[in-house]
Every structure is written in C-alpha cells, then in structure tokens.
Structure 1
Amino acid sequence: MLRIFLALFVSASLSACMFTPREGPLSTEIEKQSTQNDYLVVDVDSTIVDGLSRFNPVGLHTQFTTTSQRLPVSTVGTGDVLSVTVFEADQGGLFSGAGGNKAEFPHVVVDNKGEISLPYSGTIKVKGKTPLQIQNLVVESLEGKAIQPQAMVNVVRNENNVVTMSGDVTKPGLYPLSNKGIRLLDVVAQAGGTKFPARETYIILMRGSRQGVQLLETVMDQPDENIYVSRGDRIYLSHDPQRYTVLGAVQKPSVYTFNSSTVSVLEAIAAAGGLNDNRADATGVFVFRYEEPKVLDTMNIHYTRQVRGKVPTIYRINMKHAQSYFYAQSFHLQDKDSVFVSNARSVEIGKLLQLMNMATSSVRNIAVTGKNLEIYD
C-alpha cells in the first residue's frame, strides 16, 4: 500500500511541474500563438522604427486644413448690434442738419430674420455679411435718394461671433472673436488656462459636424496645431493623463503616467527599475498595442484581424543585440500601451527542478516515516 501511495504522489508532483505559475507567456509561446491570426507579431528594426516615426496622427491642422492657417472672416449674425454712419457729399441732402451732412445710428440691432432697418434705406438683409459688405448694401439702398452717399459700419456688440469654452478650464463660457482673428491658445488663455498639466490635457475642437482632438502640450509645441478658431466653434478641454503599463520580468511592474509628451520603451523599462537579471528573457521585450491599420499599411505589413477597426499588434525587441537599445530609445509609446518582458526559459526549468526536488524530498521523508512505522510494528 505504501509503495502505491508513493507512486501516486510522485506522479502528481511531476504533473504539477507542467503547470508552474508565472506572470505571462514565454517569448516562444507568443510567437507560436500568433500563427492562429489572433494578433500580429512584428520584429522591431530600423525600418519599423523609421516607419513609426514618420507616421503622424491626424491633428487639428490636418482636420481643419481649409481654415487652419487662414484668418477667419468676421460676419454679422442675429442679435449683433451695429453702428451705422451715413455721409452725403453736399448740403441739402436727406441727412443734412446741424451736425453736418451725416446721420449716425449707433445701436442698430440685427433682428431674428437677420435684417436691419434704416431711414430711407428700408430693410436690409445683413446676416452672414461682413461690415464692408453691409456698407455697400447701405450705399446701394440710398442711391438716387441721397447725394453721393457713403457709409461706415462697425460691430458694437457681437452676440454671434463667439466660441464656447468648456471642460477643465478655469473660466468656461462664451468668448468673442476679434476681427483680426484669434488662435486656439489665445482662447484657452482668455478662459484662464487649464486646471491640469498640458501633457495630461486633451483639447477637443468641434466645428459643425467635424471634430479634432489633440494633446494640449502638442498644440503648444507645434505652431501648426495652434489654428485659428471660427465663429460657433466649441472647444472642450479634457483631463485624461496618458498611461502605459509595464509587466513581467522587471523590478517594479506597474501602471505609469507619461511624465513628458513622449516616453520611449527604454525609458519605460528604466522607470520600472530595469530588467530582472534573474528572470528576464532579453530577447523577449514586447509592446502590446491596438495599431491603426494605416500605420501598418505604410510599412507594408500584412494583417488579417481587426478589433474595433484596429489591429492587435505586438512589437518585439531583442535586447540582446546592441543596436536594439537604439530601437528601444526611438520607439515611442502611445497611451494605453503595455510593455511586457517575458521570463527566460531557464527560469521555468529552474521552477521545474525545484518542484521535482520538493517532490523527491517528500518521497524520502514518507519512505523514512514508513520504515519507522514498520519498525514499530
């Protein structure tokens, strides 16, 4: 009976060795499982690094390319208050009086039909017109009535030419636009700026049916992204810190926040305390990412599977090669990326030998106990 028990114990112990606990898959397992087309494994080299660095996400400048670098045209809308002054060339005209050959109308309100009404001119449609265009309309309405009329139109109070600021700003609200044009960062400054660091804040611009998103720090660093705003724009600032995860055979696995606008794989590993010398497989440093298909297309990488429009992609860096440190330094992480360092196969073998040693030690102990029992019998 004792021999049967010992045999069963040894068999169970050896079976358990096949399921030793570990934090994640081995490097070979990641590559083997990719053949099932669940994800794509890409070995990082100079071509991949260059391809990724050339790809720039669609920013505000590209999204609003037709208006981003052009001064917006200030037009009149419903509720605006205009100042209209009409001049005549000689005495005896419609507007002659003690004040000279002119008439001033300092508070002309644009009604809900987008129209204004002036003496002798009648009703004039002004909605969507610039002050200069309105001047010409006033002059045309007085032709044949006044003596060589001229007009001057100014916007006294602009109720329509505004943008909306909301979200994580100090003073959300409506902000008027000047005739000389105003850029995105100017409006943010008028609203008191963001409540959080620029590298943790996204700026969302909505213009009609179009929407663009950009990191506020990028808008500050890249002048092209600091576009002109237009009437009716809705600007929303959102505090959303960028994060990445480092797991596996590193000293301090954890979730980390970007401490600058860019973080490389090398910097991420250093932030996690570096590779664990006793466990890490230097050939198996991986970056897990849902990649944009157009990024892979530009590098001529074939893929078959997509999840919510993106491709599950694992970038592999072999840190045993010296040049790979340059690749890791140039490979910039994105928000929600995961860096995983796999265990070396020798670690798994060591676990197996340790379990086998525990099993044989237990067998010896049981054998000794059995002999002692036989002696007592």
Structure 2
Amino acid sequence: MIVTLMLLTACSLPRSGPNKKEIYAGAVERGGNTHVIYVNDHVTRATNFMPVYGFSSSFRSAGQVGADEIRAGDVLGLSIWENVDDGLLTSLGASSTSLQEIQVDSAGYIFVPYAGRIRAAGNSPEQLRQVITQRLSAQTPDPQVTVTRVAGNGATVSVMGKVVAQGVYPIERPTRTLSAMLAKAGGVGIEPEVAVITVKRGNQQGKVWMTDLYSSRSNDIALRPGDIILVEEDQRNFTALGALGGQTRVPLGNEAISAVEAIAMVGGLSSALADPTGVFVLRDEPESVAGKVLGKPVFGMQRIAYVLDLTRPNGLFLARDFLIRDGDTVYVTEAPYVQFAKVLNAVTGSADSADALTSIGD
C-alpha cells in the first residue's frame, strides 16, 4: 500500500519540467522526433556560428552624394540682373528680379520665363547658372544670374525607430554618412550595445550593430536619396528553464554567449535542485548545420536536444565552448533525489496527517 501511495504521489507532485528519462524517451531512436546529442568537440565546431551583420559591397562602394548636385524635388532660388532699363523680367525702374521657390519637377526640369524648360537635375548651381545665362543672353544683353538651393527636399533620408528625433532629414554636406545622420537625429535612444541599425535602399537592405558602426569606418556608409534608416533594439534572446537560479527570457545582445555564461546570467544551477549531468540546450537546427552534427544528410529543420554533462572531465570546457543562439531554450533537469525527496515528504506528511486524525477520533 505504501508503494502504491508513493507511485500515485510521484505522478501528482509539482516539478520544474521533464526529467532526463522523459526527454530521452522523445529521441528519434525511440520513435520520437528529436535528436538527442551529447556535446563534444565535433558538435561545438559544427554549431558555433553567429549571425553576421554588415553592409554588402554595393552599400560600401556607393560614393557620397555631391552636396551641390541638384536633384528632382529640390527647391531653387533665382536672381536675375539685366543691363537695360526695361528688361524682360524686371519691373519698371528695377534692375533685378527674384524667382523664389522654383521646384525641380520629377523629371528633373524647371521652367524659367524667356529661357524655357531647362534640365536642372544633375547640375550644380554653377552649371545651371551658366545654362540660364546662355539662354537669356539671346534676348537681353549680358544678364547676370545667381542660383541657390533653398531646400534639399530632393535628397532626403528617413530616420525611424529608437532615435531621439525621428524625421525626414536632407542630405547636406555635414550629414552625408550614416553616423553623421544619426547624430543629426539626436543619436540612438537605447543602449548602444543592443542597438541594430538597418539601412533600406530600394530592394536592398543591410544592417549593422551600433558598436560596429563606430569601430569600423567601412560600416559608416555614404547615404543616398530615399534611404530609410531604422534603429531597433536587438530582439535575439534565449529562454532559461528548469533547476536554475532564475527562469526567464534573456536578451543575447551583440556578444557571443556560451552555455556556461548563459547559465551564469540567470543565477547558475540551483544547488538544491539541479542535476549537472542533465543540462540541455533545445534548438531547431537548420539543415546545413544539422547534417554536420549528425554526420548524415537531413532534409529541413531538425529538432536537436544538445546534452551537456558538467560532471565529465571536460564537461565545463565543452559548456564554455558551446555557443548559445537566438531562440535556444536552456533547460536543466532536477536531480533524481529531488523528486524522491518530494515523494517521501509527501507520503510522510500524509501518514502523519492520518495518525493525527486517528488520535482525534479516539
């Protein structure tokens, strides 16, 4: 009867999760759909890779936008002086006229009275001045023309996300690179260690860690009109469960984190509960990596439960070399005696309660 009571109690007692035996029962060799693999040097070499952020050669090789180049969407200001009393554009008694806020159309052209439709995009203000002067010279003697850019609407980028001041900013001489434009927007509004910067350009995009942007000049790319700059907090994380100092979801940041470090980040193994032979890292492994780990061709994503036995002579070294990746679940099983102690305590407690009730009845 005592044995039956203990078995029934064991089935109903609370615990932090499955034990080693139950995890092994789901192995492929036993009809399950999970590969249970002990971590060794081969496994650490096959699985240790980190996502690499960076810009492609097309982003890196793009030259800086000319600060004086006129583009579609720019707004120009013209001032024209004529060397006659009754000029084409000037009013009676005036020697000059100003044509303000002339917008370059989507095809890159502007219209100037008596000079006609003129292509402005692709020219500098000086080059455009010469074209307008030449056109007007046929109708008024020795005209003097100045051209200024009133606004840079044709060469702008959008800065969005976790920055101090989101907005649309013109590409000007001081803000022609990624770092300069971020500074123009007030800088990032989150910790630099977890900030990821994405630049979208047409159908392409590239991303870089904030810290890598400033550590390598090659990442400080030149901006192009229409670029979208998005600053986000890195969302990569792992989940810690089981007999640990804490059970939570932990951000990875931009550093490579080993299994030992991951365990330490949540308070280490629970000295009262943890089984150091049953540290599992549960992961959906891509086909290319799974094939290397298993040593055979596989098709599609594979569920793998990596086992770290910290009691082995090189167990801690392997745990130190095994890298945690985004989406991993680090699970530590309870030591076998823990559940036995719970059962014994429950049964003993039940027996004491029964004796107490018998005494009261008597």
Give the TM-score normalised by the residue count of structure 1.
0.69
TM-aligned CA deviation for residue 23 of structure 1:
0.9
Matched to 1:326, the amino acid is: F
What is the aligned partner in structure 2 of residue 193 from structure 1?
A: 187
Matched to 2:324, the amino acid is: L
Q: Residues of 2 paired with 1:355 and 1:332: CA distance?
A: 40
Determine what percentage of the aligned residue pairs are the same residue.
25
What is the aligned partner in structure 2 of residue 27 from structure 1?
A: 20
What is the aligned partner in structure 2 of residue 67 from structure 1?
A: 59
Q: Residues of 2 paired with 1:296 and 1:118: CA distance?
A: 67
Matched to 2:336, the amino acid is: R
TM-aligned CA deviation for residue 188 of structure 1:
1.1
Distance 1:263 1:296, change over 3 A: same
| Residue among 1, 4, 17 paired with 1:11 | 4
What is the aligned partner in structure 1 of residue 274 from structure 2?
A: 280
Q: Is residue 173 from structure 1 mapped to residue 167 from structure 2 by the alignment?
A: yes
Range with greater deviation from structure 2 (253-262 or 161-170): 253-262
Distance 1:138 1:289, change over 3 A: farther
Uncovered stretches (5+) of structure 1, i.e. residues with no partner? 1-6, 86-103, 146-150
Q: Is residue 342 from structure 1 mapped to residue 336 from structure 2 by the alignment?
A: no
Distance 1:305 1:297, change over 3 A: closer
What does 1:149-168 align with in structure 2 at a 5 Å threshold? 157-168=151-162
Uncovered stretches (5+) of structure 2, i.e. residues with no partner? 80-96, 139-144
Q: Residues of 2 paired with 1:211 and 1:297: CA distance?
A: 30
SS of 1:232's equivalent in the other structure is coil
What does 1:141-156 align with in structure 2 at a 5 Å threshold? none
Q: Residues of 2 paired with 1:203 and 1:263: CA distance?
A: 21
TM-aligned CA deviation for residue 175 of structure 1:
1.8
What is the aligned partner in structure 1 of residue 82 from structure 2?
A: none
Matched to 2:270, the amino acid is: N
Q: Is residue 48 from structure 1 mapped to residue 43 from structure 2 by the alignment?
A: yes
What is the aligned partner in structure 2 of residue 99 from structure 1?
A: none
Matched to 1:287, the amino acid is: V
Q: Residues of 2 paired with 1:216 and 1:224: CA distance?
A: 13
Q: Residues of 2 paired with 1:40 and 1:255: CA distance?
A: 24
Distance 1:320 1:84, change over 3 A: farther
SS of 1:204's equivalent in the other structure is strand
| Residue among 109, 112, 123 paired with 2:117 | 123
The answer as to whether partners of 2:50 and 2:325 remain within 8 angstroms in 1 is: no
Matched to 1:61, the amino acid is: F
* Aligned Cα root-mean-square deviation (Å): 4.5
Range with greater deviation from structure 2 (32-41 or 290-299): 290-299
Distance 1:369 1:179, change over 3 A: closer
The answer as to whether partners of 1:286 and 1:317 remain within 8 angstroms in 2 is: yes
Matched to 2:166, the amino acid is: P
The answer as to whether partners of 1:17 and 1:356 remain within 8 angstroms in 2 is: no
Distance 1:193 1:265, change over 3 A: same
The answer as to whether partners of 1:247 and 1:338 remain within 8 angstroms in 2 is: yes
Distance 1:18 1:111, change over 3 A: closer
TM-aligned CA deviation for residue 222 of structure 1:
4.8
Q: Residues of 1 paired with 2:217 and 2:313: CA distance?
A: 37
Give the TM-score normalised by the residue count of structure 2.
0.71
TM-aligned CA deviation for residue 165 of structure 1:
0.8
Distance 1:219 1:265, change over 3 A: farther
Distance 1:272 1:56, change over 3 A: closer
Distance 1:240 1:112, change over 3 A: same
What does 1:1-377 align with in structure 2 at a 5 Å threshold? 11-35=4-28, 36=31, 38-57=33-52, 59-62=53-56, 65-74=57-66, 76-81=70-75, 109-117=103-111, 122-127=116-121, 129=122, 131=124, 138=131, 157-178=151-172, 182-239=176-233, 242-258=236-252, 261-296=255-290, 303-304=298-299, 306=301, 311-355=302-346, 361=351, 365=355, 369=358
Count of aligned positions = 334
Matched to 1:21, the amino acid is: P
Range with greater deviation from structure 2 (162-171 or 17-26): 17-26
- Deviations 1:190-235, CA, capped at 9 Å, x for gaps: 1111122122333232222334444433434454444332210111
Matched to 1:34, the amino acid is: A
TM-aligned CA deviation for residue 11 of structure 1:
3.5
